[in-house]
Structure formats: C-alpha cells, structure tokens
Amino acid sequence: MGASVEAMGVSDMVMGENEGPRRIALTPAARRALEAAGRLFYERGIHAVGVDLIAAEAGVTKKTLYDRFGSKEQIVVEYLADRDERWRAFLAERLDVPDRELPARERVLAVFDASRAWALEHSSKGCSMVNAHAEISDPAHPAYPVIAGQKQWMLGLFTGLGAEIAPDRAEHLGRTLMLLHEGALVAHGLGIFDDPIGHAREEARALVSTGGV
C-alpha cells in the first residue's frame, strides 16, 4: 500500500474511491439544502444545527429535505462526502498539471499550497473531518467511513509521493508529511500563529530536499 498510488494522477484516485455512501440524486432543492447544510454544519457544528434551520436557510420545506435525504444523519454523510469530493477535485487541479509532469518534490509543496488556498476560502475553522469526528462518538455512524477514508487517502497520497522521493523511507516520510499537514490545519483553524500552512510547507520542503532523513 502506498506504492500502488505511485504513478497515478490524483483524479484517478478520486474515482472509484467513494464506494460507500452517497447515492442520492441531487435535485435543485436538494442541492440548495446541501449547500446550506454544509455551510451551517461547518460554521456552527453538526449538533448545533437543526433541520428546521437548514430548510429555512435553503428556502426548502422540511418535507423536501426528508424526501431527498431521509434523515439528518444522511445529510451529514452527504455533507462530508461532498466536501471531501470537492477537496479532492480542488487538489487534483493543482497536482495534475496538463502537459507537464510535476516532480514529486514539487507535488508535495503543491499539496500544501492547495491546502493554504483551500483554507483561505473554504476552511477558516479547520478540517471539517476532524471537526465532525469531534461530534460523532459512535463508530457505527455512517459518516465514520467518510472521515476515516479521507484521512487514509491523504496519508496514501503523502506516502505515494514519499515513495517517489525516498523509496526506502516512503512510509516514514509520508507519515511525517501527514503530521505536519494535519498540525497546520489545526493551527490554522485555531489561529495559533500566522500562516501555519505556509510554515508547514517550508518544513516539508526541507524534508523532501534531504530525502526525508
């Protein structure tokens, strides 16, 4: 594992990954509801947001909400799966540059650059997966695989890049990059200091230029 990722573009990995949940047809009203739910869940927390509020903000009746999604739990799942999907697409745009294969070292930096850009416009309160995990206690919750899957995917991404940089230490390097990245997201969300993702990027640069030793 990890090595299998090696030569793939990110967009290849986006496909076929979400075998789990997310089968709901997004009618216009459902799309509006999901947009509102996503915004509210992320900014106020999942338990703090009721379905009445989601319906009101989306300009949709509760009936429609339940016709489309069936339950609040499912709205949560769709929210996380949708956000994950958007993030992966956002990242793919910046990693799979057309007509030019970026070397692995630059792709590592590109991940951090993408995170910084994403954080600035979509993610001022930190990682939605981490935040959702804080509110979900039951491991049997259908959102669990989405959360765990996202983190495993990111770890696989870093490990795959690590394999191109220092094959004998791919796993070690991948994990270190993962820690720096997660730490930077948290630090950004809590405003611990200025531009933590940029700081992590520079540490990552030092790591990959020495081969992760």
Partner DNA sequence: ACTCCACTATACAGATCGGTATACCTTGGG
Partner DNA sequence: CCCAAGGTATACCGATCTGTATAGTGGAGT
Q: Counting contacts by CB under 8 A, is residue 186 touching its own copies?
A: yes
> Judging by beta carbons within 10 Å of its beta carbon (0-12, 13-18, 19+), is residue 38 exposed, middle or buried?
buried
Closest to DNA by CB, 16 vs 28, is: 28
CA angle 17, 138, 51 (to 5 degrees): 85
Report residue 157 CA to chain centroid gap. Answer: 12
Task: Residue 118: name its binding partner from its own copies, DNA, none (Cβ under 5 to 8 Å by kind).
Answer: none
Task: Residue 43: name its binding partner from its own copies, DNA, none (Cβ under 5 to 8 Å by kind).
Answer: its own copies
Task: Residue 131: name its binding partner from DNA, its own copies, none (Cβ under 5 to 8 Å by kind).
Answer: its own copies
Task: Residue 72: name its binding partner from DNA, its own copies, none (Cβ under 5 to 8 Å by kind).
Answer: DNA
CA distance 128 to 157: 19
Closest residue by Cα to residue 141 from 60, 195, 79: 79
Residues 8-47 that bind its own copies (CB under 8 A): 43-45, 47
Closest residue by Cα to residue 130 from 119, 99, 120, 100: 119
Terminal CA-CA length for the chain:
21
Closest to its own copies by CB, 103 vs 191, is: 191
Residue appearing with tokens 């496909």: 15
Task: Residue 59: name its binding partner from its own copies, DNA, none (Cβ under 5 to 8 Å by kind).
Answer: DNA
Q: Counting contacts by CB under 8 A, is residue 113 touching its own copies?
A: no
Instruction: Name the packing angle between helices 196-209 and 104-122 (round to 10°).
Output: 170
Residues 116-145 that bind its own copies (CB under 8 A): 125-127, 129-137
| Chain residues that interact with DNA, rule: CB under 7 A | 25, 27-30, 49-53, 59-64, 66-68, 71-73
Q: Which residues bind its own copies (CB under 8 A)?
A: 43-45, 47-48, 125-127, 129-137, 147-148, 151-152, 155, 172, 175-176, 178-187, 189-193, 196, 199-200, 203, 206, 213
